[in-house]
Amino acid sequence: MQIDIKYFGMLAEITGCDSEKVESEIQTVADLQKVLLDKYPDFKNKDFRIAQNQELVALETKLTGQEIAVLPPFAGG
C-alpha cells in the first residue's frame, strides 16, 4: 500500500519535507509508527500523534491509507 504522509512543525524539520509517499505493507497505526521511527531516528525523542482523515487515531487503528498526518504537540492560542 502506498501511503501519503503529511508532516508538521518540528517533525517536518526532521524529515526535511512537508509530505512524502511511503510504500509499505503497513496495517495499523502502530506499524506506521515503527516505520517512521526506523526511517527517522530523531522521532524517538519527540512526542507525536498520528491523524487519519483529520482525526487523531489510536495505535491499534487499521490504516486505510487516506490522508495520514504526523502531528507534534499542539501550540495554538
Assess contact for 44 and 38: CB atoms under 8 A. no
16 binds another protein (CB under 8 A): no
40 binds another protein (CB under 8 A): no
Query: What is the helix (H) or strand (E) element at residue 49, kind and residue range?
Result: strand 49-52
Smallest gap from Cβ 53 to another protein, in A, equals: 8
Smallest gap from Cβ 55 to another protein, in A, equals: 8
Query: What is the helix (H) or strand (E) element at residue 36, kind and residue range?
Result: helix 29-39
**Cell numbers given for 50:** 498520528
Residue 50: exposure state from Cβ atoms within 10 A (0-12, 13-18, ≥19)? buried
17, 39, 53, 59: which one binds another protein (CB under 8 A): 53
57 binds another protein (CB under 8 A): no
**List of residues contacting another protein (CB under 8 A):** 6, 8-10, 51, 53-55, 67, 69, 71-77
